[in-house]
Amino acid sequence: MSANPQWDISRALRVARLFHLVCGVRDACVTPFLTLYLRQLGLAAPWVGILMGTKHLIAAFWAPFCAFLARSHQKRRVLMTASLLGSAGASLFMVLVPPLDRDPGHRRCNGSHSLTTEGPPPGVALTVTVTLASEPASNSPAGVLSLPGAKSSGVAGTRGFGEGPGESGQEPFSYPPGSSVGSTQGTRNRSGVLLHPDTPGVTGSPREGAFRVVSPPLPLSAGGTALASPANQSAAEGDGRALGLSLEGLQWTFILSLGSVVLWELLTSPLEQVADDSLYEYLDFVDATDRYRSLWVWRLLGTSVGVCGIAALVGPLDCFLATSGPRGVVHFYGYSLVSALALLVSIAFPVPVCRRQEPSYRTVKALSLVVGDPHLTVLALTIFLTGGATSAVQNFLFWQMKDHGSSELTMGFSVALGLLGEITLHPFKAPLLRKLSRVGTLGLGLGCLAGQLLYYSFLWSWWSVLPAQILSALSHGALWWAVSTSIEHLATPGTERPLSAVFRGHVCGSGASLGSFVGGFVVMRFSLPVLYQACCILLLLWLALFLSIQPRLPQERKINYSKLLAVEASDTSDSEQGTERDWLVKAMREEHSDWRG
């Protein structure tokens, strides 16, 4: 331990471990459940995909830019404090977004303070026939249940397959076929059934929109009474106004959700990279960067604890915190509270006072390496596709589990199971890479991810997702081990960390953004199993191509250790002739000049 309190390495590592643990709990409060909450607000799959794609895109490019500014102006602690405070407040804006269904009558709290939902059991599709006031019940389609007291607008009070409180089976900004909002003629043909296509097991073709209207032909008269009577016209006009108000509310829900997510991500995304850069630089001053590599375990442990803990609290606390609107506001309140705790820990987080002069073009240099090295180019394409496929799981897996009757505690446990499996498998990292090589380990990770996606497309129960989560140790852990090892071998001196940041941030984040944008529309037009199967086929095709082109790539450049020894000897004898031809020597000299400048 150094006599200088600024370099108290043991204390710095203890604070860093605690900070990573708390931040893991903080992220787990909301991030895994965000798409489920958006669904309960009433947003369909395409708009949830747009929201999540925007979120990933901001994180991919905004976080590195903020980290660069914080390093350049030595404002890292200020940015960390602002990020924690701002994100805690911005997350509460999501609680203020109005859901489409504001009627709290569908949920109640029992004597044990746990929240229950009144409605059909999981797996039962509840359909409501919307008929005009004077239409006899005999005109309803055969086999369709007509419920008395259903709202004539056909929007509120209608539940699709497996929908929770506040969820709506309609497609935002779309109109039923043959209808015109506010027109009597359009609403006159709106006798039908609203169905939800975003989840498997729902009858009807999702190609007709996010809800389908089954409209039987109406006779011009029923029992000698014209349907165009003044009473029916007034009822149809009121029905059209109700539909128009519902669609207007849907637009506001999406716009407010988008604004909240964008503001929240702008404030929270820089925190992790700024903290990591600060800690690495702190440890680098005393040549203790080897102890930096083990800190990721604490974040995974915090995420595992947080995702199960917040899921266990949602049911009881929702009864006290939410009397109307969708359940799940506890996630955001928990996020804010843990952010306050992280703020207290960040006061003692190690931030070096003095800094080394690092060149500002390292990210550009890392990008040029990716473009110029065929090995890194192929690796970047692999990570891009992996990010897109992984976003399909992260965005919509909880939707599928909910449709099968899963509780949020089971969802949280499934996430924790994958993270703990990754921690458990980590001691076997070196033997696995030695046995299979980097290419083989990367291929194993891609194959396991494709197998997971295929398995998810055939889920049959809420618990059936748990066995597949064990594969996350390979589909995520082993894959990134191979990527990190490849970066260590292929990076030039001074570019390893920027290159790793490019792969984890820009490349993977861009893939996840594109996957979210496309995935939402695939779910709407086809189904969630089709999305999983398409991602599986894409990964398998890329895996075959990846393995086939590896022998054709140029050989990797190897370090000339004899030349390095010659350089070291030349430093002592002031003789440096013949060393300029080695690329590594040039890079080391360039790094040394940047260091001193």
Computed over every residue of the chain, the mean pLDDT equals 75
DSSP 52-71: HHHHHHHHHHHHHHHHHHHH
Say how many CA atoms lie within 13 Å of 422 toward its Cβ: 25
pLDDT digits (tens, 9 = 90+) for 296-311: 999 999 999 999 999 9
Predicted local distance difference test score (pLDDT) of residue 245: 52
For residues 289 and 596, which has the higher predicted lDDT (pLDDT)? 289
Classified as helix, coil or strand, 426 is helix
Q: Which residues contact 517 (CB under 8 A, 6 or more apart)?
A: 49, 50, 53
Whole-number Å distance between alpha carbons of 34 and 37: 5
pLDDT digits (tens, 9 = 90+) for 168-208: 343 333 333 333 333 333 333 433 333 344 444 333 333 33
pLDDT at 217 over 50: no
Residue 92 to residues 47, 214, 323, 332, Cα–Cα distance (Å) = 20, 40, 16, 6
Whole-number Å distance between alpha carbons of 426 and 351: 29
Residue whose C-alpha is closest to residue 139's, from 184, 175, 189: 189
Q: Which residues contact 280 (CB under 8 A, 6 or more apart)?
A: 289, 292, 497
pLDDT digits (tens, 9 = 90+) for 505-547: 999 999 999 999 999 999 999 999 999 999 999 999 999 999 9
Neighbours of 156 (CB within 10 A): 16
Predicted local distance difference test score (pLDDT) of residue 588: 53
Cβ pair 315, 410 in contact under 8 A: no
Predicted local distance difference test score (pLDDT) of residue 106: 45
CA R_g for the chain: 28
Residue whose C-alpha is closest to residue 99's, from 175, 167, 198: 167
Phi-psi region for residue 157, left (φ > 0), alpha (ψ -120 to 50) or beta? Answer: left
Residue 184 to residues 138, 179, 193, 233, 590, Cα–Cα distance (Å) = 23, 9, 19, 7, 76
DSSP 523-541: HHHS-HHHHHHHHHHHHHH
Question: Averaged over 13-42, what is the pLDDT?
Answer: 94
pLDDT at 115 over 50: no
How would you label 323-345 residue by residue, b for 16+ Cβ within 10 Å and e otherwise?
eebbbbbbbbbbbbebbeebbeb
pLDDT band at 423 (very low <50, low <70, confident <90, very high): very high
For residues 550 and 206, which has the higher predicted lDDT (pLDDT)? 550
Alpha helices in 92-229 (DSSP H): 93-96, 184-188
Whole-number Å distance between alpha carbons of 215 and 194: 10
Q: Which residues pair with 222 in a beta bridge?
A: 225
DSSP helix, strand, coil percent of the chain (3-state; round to 5): 65, 5, 30
Per mean pLDDT, which range of 126-140, 300-314, 574-588 is the poorest?
126-140
Q: Which residues contact 386 (CB under 8 A, 6 or more apart)?
A: 446, 449, 479, 508, 511, 539
Cβ pair 64, 501 in contact under 8 A: yes
Whole-number Å distance between alpha carbons of 260 and 216: 42
Per mean pLDDT, which range of 35-44, 320-329, 369-378 is the poorest?
320-329
Q: What length does the chain have?
A: 597
DSSP 99-165: PS---GGGEEE-TTS-EEE-SPPTT-----EE--TT--GGGSPTT----TT--TTSSTT---TT--T
- pTM above the 0.85 mark? no
33's tokens: 């459940």
187's tokens: 């609403």
Classified as helix, coil or strand, 494 is coil
Any idea which residue has 């396991």 for tokens? 448
Classified as helix, coil or strand, 565 is helix
Cβ pair 205, 259 in contact under 8 A: no
Predicted local distance difference test score (pLDDT) of residue 163: 40
Cβ pair 187, 240 in contact under 8 A: yes
